[in-house]
Structure 1
C-alpha cells in the first residue's frame, strides 16, 4: 500500500495503490489527508467488507446499526426480530394443504384420524382467518368456550402444534401460537381406578356372560397395556413370562416387554378373543350387568396404582408401562392405594 502524488488529467492528485484480495486497486484523491483517511479505513477493514459495499449498502448498514442501537440489541438480533415476508393463507386452506402432507407420512390410521379431527375443529373455529393472525390468546379462548379439561387441551395442542410449525416452514406465519398458550391447572383429583372387589366383579361378570372378553380385560387390568395396544396383540406376542409390545404396536413406537403376573396367566389360560370383535358394545353390556362405571384409561390407571403399591418401585412400574421416567407416576399414583389393597388386587384369580 502506498500514497503517491501524481497528475491525473492535468490535475494534481494523490493516488493510492493497494492489493486487495489478490487484485490491484487504485483511487485518486484531491488531498493527501483524504488519501490517508481512505487507506486507514482499508487497513482497519482487513476483510474488505466495508470497502466492497456500494454507497447504498453502506447507508442501509448504518441505518440498521442505528435501529439496533435504539432497540438496545445487536444488529443480528434486530434482523431476527424483523418480520419476514409472509404468504398469507387462511386456516381452512392451510389445513387442506397440510392434510395432504400428513397422508404421505407413515402414521397409524388412528393417529391420522385424531389429527384430522383436531384440524377440522381448528378450521371450523378460525375458518377464513389468516394463519399468521391466530394468536395464543385466541386459542386459549377457544379452549375455554369448548370447556375442555387440561388433558384434552394437551392432546389438541400436541396435534395442532406441528401444523403451525409446518405453517412457519411454508412461510404462512412467523410464530407457533401453541407454544405460548397458557394451559389451565391440571385436575388435582386422582385418576379413576377400580377397587379390588370391582375388578373381580368385572372379570367374573365377563366370565359368566361373555368369556371372549376375558383376555382384553385381564391384560388391561393386570398388565396395564393401553387399549389400542391390546387391540393389536396376537398370540405370538405372548411367552411364558412376557407380553411383547413391538414397536409397530406400541403407542410410543418403542418395543417393550411387560411381565405376566401369576394371576394374569390364570385368566389368560381361560382363552378368549384376541383381539375382541365389536368391543364397545360387548364391554358396555358387561359393565351394565356388573353395575360398574367406566372411565377413560381406568384399567391402565388401576394397574399403575396397584403395581406401584405392591412393588413399591416407581422405576419398575414406569418401565413396565413404557413411561420415559417416573414423573407421571409420582404425580398421579403415589400413595393412591394401600399395601393391603394392592395385595388383594394381585390375588384376583379365576
Structure 2
C-alpha cells in the first residue's frame, strides 16, 4: 500500500503560537522552509530535509509559547518595562528578546563597557562604510597589485611564502585581528619539522625560527595591513601593529673562507657551479642576485657587472668592478646571454661539492670521509667584503660595490684579514684544464689600477 503524501504547508501549533513548514525545492533538490513570527517580525529558515524542519518548527513554537505564558503573568513594573522595551525596538522590526540577546553579546565583547560609546566611535569613524574583507581577499588583491606595479618576482615569492601562511592561519575578517593575536602568531612560528633521534627513538622536532626571520615575517604582515589601510579596509586610526614589537637580533658571526679553502672548493666544483662561486667570492653579489643574473649584464670589455634594481635586494642599481682574477674565470664560462646559474637545484650542487672535498675512505673507496671544507652561510659574500676592504682600505667603496652601507661594512668586516691574505684571495685564478694557480703580483697589477678604482655609482 502506497504511503500517503504529507500535505503542505504543514502547521505546527501550540495555543496561539504557530510555525508553518513550506515545501520549497531549490536547484532541483528537495528543501523545506520554516516560517514563524517573533513579535511583528516574520522569520524564516531553510532545511534540506523534512525531519530537521519539523524539529526546528516544534522547538520554535515551544519556546515562543513559553515566552507568551511568561508575558501573560507579567504585572506592575515588569509589564511597564516590557511595554517600554517593545516600543523602543519597534522601529527596527525586531523582537524584544532578540534585542536583549544582541545587547548581552555586545556588552560581553566590550567587557562591560558602554555600548553607546562604542556605537558613537563606530559611527564617528564611519566603520559601517568599511568593506568586509577577509585576510585572504586582501592578501590576494595586494599580490596582484604589486605584480601589476612591476615588483620583482623574488619579492612577490617572499610575500607569498610569508603571507600565505598568515592568511591560512587567520581565515577571518582582516579588521577583526588584534595586535596581540599577531604578536602571538609571530612568537609561535617554528621552522619546518625535522627528524631527530633520541633515547625514545625517532621523533619530529620543530624548532623556533630565528628573530631575524621573525622580523621578516613581521615586515610582511605590516605590509599587508598598510595596504589594507590604504585601501580603506581598516579604520584610518587602526594601529594594532604598535602592539607588535621588533625582536632583538643576535649578532651574526661573520664566517669567511681562506684562500686555501676556497681553492679546494673550486677544485672539486661542477663546471656549471663555478660562475656562481667566483662571482660571489670575487664580486660580492648576493646569492639571490647571482641566481637572477643574466650573462648580458656581465661585460668583460668594460670590466663591470651590472646589478639591476629588479634583481638587487636594495632595489637600487649598481655597477660592480670585475677583478683581474675574476675576469680570467669568467672568460672560461661567459655567454652572450642567458642565466648565469643554470643548475636546477643549487643547494644540492653545493652539497655535492662539499662532500667531494672529503678524502676517500680507505676502508671503502666508494665512500668519502668527512669533508675537508664545510660550507658556511653567506661566506662567499662575507669573504669578498672582508678581503676587498683589506685591499682598498675604503668602507665607502666596498659598500658601493656590495650594495650595503659603509657603516655595516666597517662594523662587520674591518680588520678580519690581512693585506697579504687579501692579495692571495684575489690572485686565485684558473690554470690549464682543471688546475688552479695563484697569479703573481705582476700579473694581478696589469688590471689592478682599474679594479681598485672602485665601483661606479649608478
TM-score range, shorter chain: 0.5 to 0.7
Q: Does structure 2 conserve the Cα–Cα contact (< 8 Å) formed by 1:193 and 1:301?
A: yes
Q: Which has the higher helix share?
A: 1
Residue in 1 that maps onto 2:441: none
> How far apart, CA to CA, are the structure 2 residues paired with 1:339 and 1:211?
30
- Across the aligned residues of Structure 1 and Structure 2, the Cα RMSD in angstroms comes to 2.7
Question: Which of 271, 279, 285 does residue 333 from structure 2 map onto?
Answer: 271
Q: Secondary structure at the match of 2:188?
A: helix
Change (3 A) 1:215 1:153: same
> What are the superposed Cα offsets for residues 294-346 of structure 1, whole Å, 9 maximum, x if unpaired?
344321122112212332211011010122x3232234333333444333322
> How far apart, CA to CA, are the structure 1 residues paired with 2:242 and 2:398?
31
Structure 2 spans left out of the alignment, 5+ residues: 1-120, 190-207, 358-370, 431-458
How far 1:236 sits from its partner (Å)? 5.3
Q: Does structure 1 conserve the Cα–Cα contact (< 8 Å) formed by 2:390 and 2:422?
A: yes
Change (3 A) 1:181 1:109: same
Written as runs of structure 1 = structure 2, the 5 A alignment for 1:190-339 is 190-206=253-269, 210-231=270-291, 232-235=293-296, 237-240=298-301, 241-271=303-333, 274-280=340-346, 281-290=348-357, 291=371, 292-323=373-404, 325-339=405-419
> How far apart, CA to CA, are the structure 2 residues paired with 1:189 and 1:125?
30
Deviates further, 298-307 or 275-284: 275-284
How far 1:168 sits from its partner (Å)? 0.8
Residue in 1 that maps onto 2:153: 109
Q: Does structure 2 conserve the Cα–Cα contact (< 8 Å) formed by 1:164 and 1:177?
A: no
Change (3 A) 1:100 1:244: closer
RCO higher in structure (CA 8 A, sep ≥6)? 1
Q: Does structure 1 conserve the Cα–Cα contact (< 8 Å) formed by 2:295 and 2:334?
A: no
> How far apart, CA to CA, are the structure 1 residues paired with 2:295 and 2:267?
23
> How far apart, CA to CA, are the structure 1 residues paired with 2:264 and 2:239?
48
Structure 1 segments of 4 or more deviating over 6 A?
A: none
How far 1:164 sits from its partner (Å)? 0.7
> How far apart, CA to CA, are the structure 2 residues paired with 1:285 and 1:104?
39
How far 1:288 sits from its partner (Å)? 1.8
Q: Secondary structure at the match of 1:186?
A: coil
Q: Does structure 1 conserve the Cα–Cα contact (< 8 Å) formed by 2:134 and 2:171?
A: yes
Change (3 A) 1:177 1:220: farther
Change (3 A) 1:332 1:95: same
> How far apart, CA to CA, are the structure 2 residues paired with 1:329 and 1:338?
16
Q: Secondary structure at the match of 2:137?
A: helix
Change (3 A) 1:137 1:314: farther
How far 1:218 sits from its partner (Å)? 0.4
> Are 2:216 and 1:155 aligned?
yes
> What are the superposed Cα offsets for residues 59-102 of structure 1, whole Å, 9 maximum, x if unpaired?
xxxxxxxxxxxxxxxxxxxx9xx745244433233324334433
> How far apart, CA to CA, are the structure 1 residues paired with 2:297 and 2:136?
45
TM-score, normalised to structure 1, is 0.67
Q: Secondary structure at the match of 1:269?
A: helix
> What are the superposed Cα offsets for residues 115-153 of structure 1, whole Å, 9 maximum, x if unpaired?
11111111123222x323433333332222122223213
Deviates further, 330-339 or 216-225: 330-339
Residue in 2 that maps onto 1:188: 251
TM-score, normalised to structure 2, is 0.52
Q: How many correspondences in the alignment? A: 265
Q: Does structure 2 conserve the Cα–Cα contact (< 8 Å) formed by 1:150 and 1:184?
A: yes
> What are the superposed Cα offsets for residues 132-180 of structure 1, whole Å, 9 maximum, x if unpaired?
3433333332222122223213322333322111111233323354455
Q: Does structure 1 conserve the Cα–Cα contact (< 8 Å) formed by 2:297 and 2:305?
A: no
Change (3 A) 1:307 1:136: farther
> How far apart, CA to CA, are the structure 2 residues paired with 1:177 and 1:196?
50
Q: Does structure 2 conserve the Cα–Cα contact (< 8 Å) formed by 1:212 and 1:272?
A: no
> How far apart, CA to CA, are the structure 1 residues paired with 2:319 and 2:334?
22
Change (3 A) 1:314 1:143: same
